[in-house]
Amino acid sequence: MANQILLKKSSVADRVPVVGDLQYGELAINYIDEKIYFKNSSNAIKVFTSDDKAPSAFARNFMMMGA
């Protein structure tokens, strides 16, 4: 049986999770804004964005890993 991964999600433009909304390693997605959020080890919310013109360092590393 396959595992299912569930993300916290929002369809409200510009809605961003606050620190108390996420546990370490948990992801939240805003599919209207095309952003994925996570809480880092400094207890701050960070974001991955969809930007075809300038891929983030995360995206470059992710692509280099062959994903």
4-55 pLDDT, tens digit per residue, is 888 899 999 999 999 999 999 899 999 999 899 999 999 999 998 766 555 5
The DSSP code for 19 is: G
Q: With 0-12 CB in 10 A as exposed, 13-18 as middle and 19+ as buried, what is 47?
A: middle
> What's the rounded Cα separation, in Å, for the pair 10 and 1?
28
* Burial class of residue 26 (count of CB atoms within 10 Å of its CB; 0-12, 13-18, 19+): middle
